[in-house]
Amino acid sequence: MTPETKYAKSGDVHIAYQVVGDGPVDLVFVPGWITHVELSWDEPLEAAFRRRLAGFSRLILFDKRGTGLSDRVPVDQLPILEERMDDVRAVMDAVGSERAALMGVSEGGAMSSLFAATYPERTAALILYGSFAQAGAALLSQEELDARLRELQENWPDAIDPSVPAPTLAADPSYRDTWRTFIRHAASPGAALALLRMNSQIDVRDVLPAISAPTLVLYRRDARFGHGAAAWRQAGEDPITPRGEAEYLAEHVPGARLVELPGGDHLPWVGEPDAVLGEVEEFLTGVRTAPEPDRVLATILFTDIVGSTALAARLGDREWGDLLERHNALVRRQLERFRGQELDTAGDGFVASFDGPARGIRCAAAIAESVSALGLSVRAGIHTGEAELVDGKLAGIAVHIAARIASIAEADEVLVSNTVKDLVIGSRMTFADRGARELKGVPGEWSLFAVDAASAT
C-alpha cells in the first residue's frame, strides 16, 4: 500500500513527504535529480528497496521542490542548494525528527553533505551513494551541457534514456514505458532544465572537511552512463559520478569509509540492491540482515467488483455498505471452502493465497458465481510464483503480477498467467488464449488465459 503523502512548509514552498516504518533510527532518503514519492511505489524494485530500508529504520521520503508532488517553482529562479537543503530540515521538523541519518543519492549527496556540515547536531550519520562533490566543468564540458539542455528542451521526456540510470533494465519495454510515465509526472520540461542547470553548478568541496558525522561513501565500480565526457566513456567509468568523485568524498570527509560495490546500475534498487542495503543496514545498526527472506511458492488471487464506483454513487453510502458486507461474506465463505488465506482487503477487492493453483481457480469461479446473485460482477487475476514471506504475509513480484493480471481482466472473467495454466494440466480445466500482454511495472510480456468457468466447477 502507498503510504500517506503529507506536506511540510519550507518558506513559501510545500514539500511532499512520506514516513514508512518504525525502526530505531530515522533515515532521510535524499533522492537524485527528479522524483515522485507516490509513483515510485508503482515500480516493484524501488518499492522493495524502500520496504527493506524501512525494515530497519523510520524511513522519511520526500520530493524536492520543483519535482513530484512538491510545489513547482518559477523555472527562471534556480533553486539554490541552500534552499533545497533547508527542505530537509523542514521535513524533519514536520515528522518530529530531532536527529537523523541522511542517505544522499547522486545529486542528493551534495545536499546531504551541506546539511551534515550545517546541522551537525541533527545529523546522526551520512551515506553518500553515487554522489559527487563538484559538477559543472569538472564533469561535463560547457558544450556537452548545452547540448544536453537543448535535447531535454526539444524532446521531453524521451530525451531521458533509461539506459543511463539502469542499463540492466533498459532493453525491457515494460520498464521503458514505466520509466517514461514516471519522468513525465516527476517534472515538467522547464523544471527539469532548471534543475539540471542547478546541478551543473554544484560544488561542495569546501564544506566536506566540516562534516563530523560518521560517513559511508558507496560506489558501484562497473557503472557506465550513456552520455558525458568522452574520456570517462572510454575508460568505462560513470561520467556523472566517476570513481574519482567517490574517492574525493572519502578522502576529504574526516573518517569517511569508501566501499566499492558490484554492479553497473546507477539506481541503487536496480542490479544488486542487496549489496547496497547490506552496507547501509550494517553502517546504521551494526547488524547485516540476511538479504534473502523466507520464500514460498504460492498462488495469489486478486478480485474486485466491476463498476463499483458508479454503483456506490447510485446506491448511496448506506445501501452500498450493506451490499459490500454481503459481498465480503460470500467471498470469505468461498475462501474457507477452498482453503484460501485472506491476505488483504482494499476497498471492494480481496487478495488471497492458495497452496495450489487449481484451488485458486475454482475459488475465483465460485466467487464470481456466488456474488452474481447480488447483482455484482467481479474480475479476478491469478498467478503462481515465488513470494517473500515477511512477518507472516506474502510480498514480492508474484503478488504484483497477480494484481496487474486482475486489473486487465474483463467482467466475470478469471484471468490467469501461463504458469497457472501449465500447473493445472490434467485437471480438465480449459482456457481461452488472451494473447501476450505487458503488465505495468513488470518486465517482459506475459501470456494470459481466461478460464472457462464451466470447466472450473
| Residue 442 φ/ψ region, left for φ over 0, alpha for ψ in the -120 to 50 degree band, beta for the rest | beta
Q: What pLDDT does residue 285 have?
A: 94
Q: What is the mean pLDDT of residues 81-90?
A: 86
- Contact indicator for 364, 414 with CB cutoff of 8 Å: yes
The set of long-range contacts for 4-10, using a CB threshold of 8 Å and a minimum separation of 24, is 5/37, 5/38, 5/69, 6/94, 7/94, 8/62, 8/87, 8/90, 8/91, 8/93, 8/94, 8/95, 9/90, 9/94, 10/65, 10/83, 10/86, 10/87, 10/89, 10/90, 10/91
Q: What pLDDT does residue 17 have?
A: 98
Percent of the chain with pLDDT over 70: 90
Max mean pLDDT among 6-10, 78-82, 197-201 falls in 6-10
From 233, 185, 240, 192, select the one nearest 68 (Cα to Cα).
Answer: 185
- What is the CB neighbour count within 10 angstroms for residue 144? 17
Looking at the DSSP assignment, which residues form a beta bridge with residue 390?
393
Q: What pLDDT does residue 393 have?
A: 67
Cβ neighbours of residue 338 closer than 8 Å, sequence gap 6 or more = 354, 359, 360, 362, 363, 366
Q: What is the mean pLDDT of residues 338-355?
A: 85
Q: What pLDDT does residue 456 have?
A: 80
From CA 130, how far away is CA 107, in angstroms rounded? 8
| Residue 396 φ/ψ region, left for φ over 0, alpha for ψ in the -120 to 50 degree band, beta for the rest | left
Domains observed in the chain: 6-285 (3.40.50.1820), 294-456 (3.30.70.1230)
pLDDT digits (tens, 9 = 90+) for 399-428: 889 999 998 999 999 999 999 998 888 788
Helix or strand run (H / E) with residue 368: helix 357-372
Task: For residue 41, give the 3-state DSSP assignment.
Answer: helix
Give the model's confidence band at 9: pLDDT under 50 very low, under 70 low, under 90 confident, else very high. very high
Q: Look at 179 and 279; give whichever has higher pLDDT.
A: 279
Looking at the DSSP assignment, which residues form a beta bridge with residue 126?
102, 215
From 330, 252, 287, 92, select the one nearest 279 (Cα to Cα).
Answer: 287
User: Could you tell me the sign of the dihedral formed by the alpha carbons of 9, 10, 16, 18, in that order?
Assistant: negative
Cell digits of residue 293: 527472506
Task: Examine the pLDDT at 227 and tell me if it is beyond 60.
Answer: no
Position 278, amino acid: G
Cell digits of residue 124: 546522526
Task: Examine the pLDDT at 286 and tell me if it is beyond 80.
Answer: yes
pLDDT digits (tens, 9 = 90+) for 50-67: 999 999 999 999 999 989
Q: Look at 142 and 433; give whichever has higher pLDDT.
A: 433
CA dihedral 63, 64, 66, 71 (to 10 degrees): 60
Q: What pLDDT does residue 163 have?
A: 73
